[in-house]
Copies of this chain bind each other. A is one copy, B any other.
C-alpha cells in the first residue's frame, strides 16, 4: 500500500548510473546489473521500458548499451515511475489526472462514491510532491554523492 514497486527502484538505480557516465558513454544492462547485484533479465526489462519511454537511447549489438537522453534536472520521480509502472493513481477512481489539469476522472461510481473528491485532491498533492523530485536531486542525495557499487571495475 502506497508503495512503489521494485521496478521503479531498479529504474532509479539504472538512471543514476547512466547519469554519472561521461557524455555519450554507454552502459550495458549487464554492466549495471552486475554493479548492483540485480538480475540481468530484470534490468534488461527496465531498460527496455526506459528506452521506450524516451528516457534513454539504446545502441544495439556488441559494445552496445544505453545512454541518457535528457539531463537529470529534467527528469522527475513520478515520470520515471509512471514510465515503468503505468499511471499513478491513489485509487481506482482516478485515471486521467496525469496532466494535473484538475477534475477529469473516469470513476464508474462517480455519482455515488462519497470519497471521489477528497481522494482526487490527495492524489494531486502526492503528484505535486513527486513531480518536484528530480533525478538530479536524487543523485545529490545518494550517500556521499557517489555511488558505492559492488564492482566499479567494468570489464570493458
Contact = CB atoms under 8 A, between A and B. Distances in A.
A136 to B, nearest CB: 11
A116 B85 CA distance: 20
A8 B92 CA distance: 12
**Interface residue range, chain A:** 35 or more
Contacts of A149: 114
A148 B116 CA distance: 12
Interface of A: 1-5, 8-9, 12-13, 16, 36-37, 77, 81, 85-86, 88-91, 111-112, 114-119, 121-122, 125-126, 129-130, 133, 137-138, 141-143, 147-150
By Cβ-Cβ distance, the 3 closest A-B pairs, closest first, are A118-B138, A118-B141, A1-B85
